[in-house]
Amino acid sequence: MKILVTDSLAPEGLAVFQNAAGFQVDVKIGLKPDELKKICADYDGWVIRSGTKITAELIDAAKNLKVIGRAGVGYENIDADAATKRGIVVMNTPGGNNVTTGEHTIALMMAMARHIPQAVASLKSGKWERNKFVGVELCNKTIGVIGLGNVGRIVAERASGLKMKVLGFDPFIAPDNIARMGVEPGSLDEIFAKADFITVHVPLTPETQGLINKAAFAKMKSGVRIINCARGGIVDEQDLADAIKEGKVAGAALDVYVDEPPAADHPLVKLDQVITTPHLGASTDEAQLNVAIAVAEQMIDFLAQGVVRYAVNVPSVSPELLQVLRPYLTLAEKLGSLHAQMAGALPKEVQVEYRGDVTQYNVAPLTLAVLKGLLSAVMESAVNYVNAPLVAKERGIKIVESKGEGVGDFASSIVVRAKNGKENLEVEGAIFGAKHPRIVRVNDFYLEAVPEGYILVLQNRDVPGVVGAVGTILGNNGINIAGMELGRSEKGGNAISFTHVDEVVPRKAIDELLALPQIVSAELVKL
């Protein structure tokens, strides 16, 4: 596996690649886009930080690329949509710089409260302006922490240690859980109304774009101070500048901007009430080391074992969970493929139901496997775990995932059902032993079929002589039968058989089978 590194990476991270069997790492820093375009086709993995911008054009040129690793949290410099369409996993390292970013937030807050950068600049210019830089204490002040993920929790913890009152808001965490962090849960409006300091620790999304804006400032107490070490754009920069000039906001501490570096005439940079740093939230020796090692280990695990951790465009699967889910992943993909081939067309809606013990796990990867199998069976273009949801969406396929209450006849099973133009089709699979996938039901027919290789799926009337007639036709056409599984709804009713064959059954033989009066349908599938 060949790895391309185009931004500075700690030597310890490079050593992880170099010491991994079967991996070659090339470091090429400072190349222009046209130069990158010429060399990127040969690489399986691409490691960047914030300096390299991986565009759709570069992704298209990187013909062999399987994974992009961002040594850090933000991935705005990666066209993740283009990567997803190509089936390329995009990973980041969210845990490597949590402490560093949290500490930087606290450092900026303290520096802002005591006007430290302004006082330093004044003193170095030859002045002694003690009265000009009178600050405020943090003790007994209220800090509003918006977003209580890894970084937000660290900020809340450190602020509590400074004897501040901490209000927290996170729509994805229950108020009881927020309280257990030692943080008082509150709404956004409560934070706006009560907080002396407000800090944001949320991702930049359509929902958080401009979260702190003119309307929000209007709800805040006069003299509030704003900190943003998350992402530029969460705080509306022009609205913040206006609020500072109006005296509503006493100060701001910023590490990030919408456009970096900000323009010389940026409305915030020149304001005396604003202290600012050039995106240093993750810039410590410890953080650089942590993210370098983390991204290398994650990419190796993915390329060598299929383990997905901290991917931004596909559900992550830890090594421990992968070990448990691996046979189910195989089963799920086979069920999707079987369904598509038997139906002969893509459905408008696919329902995936999980029953029994498997419901205790995160089943999102299994649903992806069903989609991959379903789409791969009928499409010429490559479909994988990354782009399967996008491909399904483009074709108007709705995915419904559920967990059944009953266990049925098996400890765990997966049911795939969908309606196409012809009929409803429902297939069920289970794991026999610890790792052996089996097809156990097709509609009302129960059987135990191994989902491997070429399989002739026959539906017939349950009358004597069918098996012999099928064997004769296949034999006359030079087709060897490797195995057969049978199932029927009731004696003398309808039946189904999965006949395993060593090679493709020719159309001529299938037509002969369909000509038999007892044969209802005949389809060759490949699993």
In 3D space, the residue among 115, 109, 95 whose CA is nearest the CA of residue 143 turns out to be: 109
Cα(448)–Cα(441) distance, integer angstroms: 8
- Is 246 labeled as catalytic in the residue annotation? no
The residue whose two tokens read 């013909």 is 63
pLDDT at 343: 86
From 86, 104, 201, 231, the catalytic residue: 231
Q: Domains in the chain, start-ordered, CATH in brackets?
A: 2-96+286-305 (3.40.50.720), 98-276 (3.40.50.720), 317-443 (3.30.1330.90), 452-527 (3.30.70.260)
Task: Burial-class residue 119 by CB neighbours within 10 Å (0-12, 13-18, 19+).
Answer: middle
Tokens, residue 267: 């409305």
Q: Which of 279, 448, 461, 485 is catalytic?
A: 279
Q: What is the model's pLDDT at position 306?
A: 87
The pLDDT, as a whole number, for residue 276 is 97
The whole-number pLDDT of residue 107 equals: 98
Residues 22-37 pLDDT 10s:
999 999 999 999 999 9
**Stretches in the chain below the pLDDT threshold 70:** 380-381, 405-408, 420-423
pLDDT tens, 382-422?
788 888 898 888 888 999 999 986 666 788 999 999 876 55
pLDDT of 406 reads: 61
Q: Tokens 């991204």 map to which residue?
A: 295
Does 86 participate in catalysis according to the annotation? no
Rg (CA), the chain: 30
Q: Which of 12, 129, 137, 260 is labelled catalytic?
A: 260
pLDDT score at 211: 96
Q: Across-strand partners of 441?
A: 428, 446
The Cα-based distances of 14 to 6, 10, 61, 62, 112 in angstroms read 12, 7, 24, 21, 38
Q: What is the pLDDT of residue 509?
A: 95
Q: How far apart are CA 517 and CA 283, in angstroms?
A: 76
**Is residue 279 among the annotated active site residues?**
yes
Closest of 39, 73, 84 to residue 58, by C-alpha: 39
pLDDT at residue number 381: 66
CB neighbour list of residue 481: distance below 8 Å, 6 or more residues apart: 471, 474, 499, 500, 501
- The pTM for the full model equals 0.68
Cis check: omega of the bond before 261, within 30 degrees of 0 = yes
Quote the pLDDT of residue 234. Answer: 96
Could you tell me if 52 and 6 are in contact, meaning their C-beta atoms sit under 8 angstroms apart?
yes
Q: Which amino acid is at 118?
A: Q
Residue 407 confidence (pLDDT): 60
